[in-house]
Homo-oligomer: A and B are copies of this chain.
Amino acid sequence: MSNVAVKSASTEFGEGSFKAALKFTADRVNEELNRLLPPVLEPEGHVVKAMRYAALDGGKRLRPFLVCAASDLFGVPLVISIRVAAAIEMVHCYSLIHDDLPAMDDDDLRRGRLTVHKKFDEATAILAGDALLTESFAVLANPETHADSNVRIALVQELAHASGAAGMVGGQIIDLRAANLSLDDSGLRRLQNLKTGCIISCACRSGAVVGKAPTELVTALGKYGIAMGLAFQIADDVLDVEGSSAETGKAIGKDEAAGKATFVSRLGLKGAKDYASSLVDEAIAHLAPFGAKAKLLKEAAIFVVERRN
Contact = CB atoms under 8 A, between A and B. Distances in A.
Contacts of A73: none
Contacts of A194: 44
Interface string A162-177: 0111100111111011
Interface stretch (A131-139, A203-211, A212-220, A243-251): A131-139
A150 interface: yes
Interface in A271-294: none
A1 interface: no
Nearest to A166: B38
Contacts of A138: 157, 160-161, 164
Q: How many copies does the complex hold?
A: 2
A93 to B, nearest CB: 13
A48 interface: yes
A98 B126 contact: yes
Contact of A123 (B103, B122, B134, B165): B103
A127 B44 contact: no
A48 B48 CA distance: 29
A272 B149 CA distance: 45
Nearest to A161: B138
B133 A165 contact: no
A121 B176 CA distance: 11
A116 to B, nearest CB: 12
B51 A165 contact: yes
Given A104-B123, A123-B104, A153-B149, A164 B141 contact: no
